Amino acid sequence: MNVVICDDYQHMSTLASRAFIDCLQSNPRAVLGLATGSTPIGCYKNLIDSYKAGNISFAEVTSFNLDEYIGLHRDHPQSYYYFMHQQFLNQVDIQSQRVFIPSGVEENYGVYCQWYEDRINEAGGIDLQILGIGSDGHIAFNEPGTALGSRTHITDLDHQTIDDNARFFDSKSDVPKRAITMGVATIMDAKKIILLATGENKAAAIRDAIQGPVGSECTASALQQHPNVTFYLDKAAAALLHNE
């Protein structure tokens, strides 16, 4: 695995967007794995600028998002569907029929989760997946204890995740308690993965992900076994890494 310590958020966002631009310039029909959270916003902003400058197009791209809160309709301002469209998708030329974001309001999740996996496989798998990381070491919503062999599934959110995400809601009690998420194994199937993290509240999770044992207590640790993964970190997020 590659670890790049960036000067600051701007630098990290530039390197992350460059990975997407390289991917799209070598394959305009790439399949992209997209993430929510505040961390990738700068990367998405760079991609919008690059699209507007005429350097890249998303016209033939297919995208798959990692996760969604259960119970939030797509027009809820805190739904990940809404977030992705506001922050990124509405501002580039991606075709809506090739945008896949897990639904938070399905009746039969047994069928739906398999349907989502099938769509990823039908598209040929994910070429480039961007990830953030939870302060408890989760990737997507694969909370501590999630099997590393997991596929798209429904999960209960940890107290820490609910606390972390309460800042986006009017009150903590408004944060959904469950989510649909790609599994760890779904993410590991991506051909190339980039993970972004900034700030001291991610430092322990980053240490465990990169230098801890591989196991379900820190699901990001599974990435140690991926053949093409790069962590882009600011100094604060990298502060607890020890030299090896």
Contact residues toward ligand GLP (CB under 6 A) are: 35-39, 66-67, 132-134, 140-141, 161
Token pair 């916003």 in the structure block, residue: 41
Q: Which is nearer to ligand GLP, 56 or 139 (CB)?
A: 139
> For the residues of 167-235, what is the DSSP string, one character each?
GGSSSGGGS-SEEEE--HHHHHTSSEEEEEE-SGGGHHHHHHHHHS-SBTTBGGGGGGG-SSEEEEE-T
Please provide residue 229's backbone torsions phi and psi, each rounded to the nearest 5 degrees: -130, 140
Q: How far is the CB of 89 from ligand GLP (least distance, A)?
A: 16
Q: Which is nearer to ligand GLP, 44 or 58 (CB)?
A: 44
> Is 8 an annotated catalytic residue?
no
Are 234 and 132 contacting, i.e. CB atoms less than 8 angstroms apart?
no
Q: Which is nearer to ligand GLP, 94 or 140 (CB)?
A: 140
Q: How far is the CB of 244 from ligand GLP (least distance, A)?
A: 25
User: Which entry of 68, 117, 127, 136 is annotated as an active-site residue?
Assistant: 136
Distance CA 132, CA 233 (A): 10
Are 84 and 65 contacting, i.e. CB atoms less than 8 angstroms apart?
yes
User: Which entry of 68, 117, 127, 143 is annotated as an active-site residue?
Assistant: 143
Q: How far is the CB of 60 from ligand GLP (least distance, A)?
A: 26
> Is 153 an annotated catalytic residue?
no
> Is 244 an annotated catalytic residue?
no
User: Which entry of 127, 138, 164, 234 is annotated as an active-site residue?
Assistant: 138
* Active-site residue set: 67, 136, 138, 143
